[in-house]
């Protein structure tokens, strides 16, 4: 439901969704060995002809939770 380059933002939004009894997971193409943090998980963007390095973390939820999750994320981002 959401993608970000900021590991702390992803972790914070995940905790906000969990507080609302939702079931988010964080996904990144490469996870570093030895920990759940995504800070150094770099991968080349698919279809990027310039080979830019991208560190995007996706917050994913089950399909039945998408609408509620999007509303919560938008609310959290508006209050920042």
DSSP string, 9-61: HHHHHHHHHHHTT---EEE-S---TT-S--TT--EEPTT-TT--EE--EEEE-
Q: What is the pLDDT of residue 12?
A: 94
pLDDT above 70 covers what percent of the chain?
A: 66
pLDDT at 5 over 70: yes
Q: Is the model's pLDDT at 52 over the cut of 50?
A: yes
pLDDT attached to residue 48? 53
The structure's pTM equals 0.70
**Average of per-residue pLDDT across 45-61:** 67
- The pLDDT score that the predictor gives to residue 14 is 95
CATH class assigned to 2-79: alpha beta
Please state, in angstroms and rounded to a whole number, the distance separating the CA atoms of residues 72 and 38. Answer: 23
Residue ranges per structural domain of the chain: 2-79
């Amino acid at each position: 439901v959401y993608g970000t380059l900021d590991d702390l933002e992803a972790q914070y939004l995940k905790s906000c969704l969990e507080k609302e009894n939702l079931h988010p997971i964080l996904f990144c193409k490469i996870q570093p060995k030895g920990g759940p943090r995504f800070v150094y998980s770099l991968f080349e963007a698919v279809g990027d002809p310039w080979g830019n390095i991208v560190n995007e973390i996706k917050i994913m939820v089950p399909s039945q939770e998408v609408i509620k999750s999007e509303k919560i994320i938008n609310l959290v981002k508006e209050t920042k």
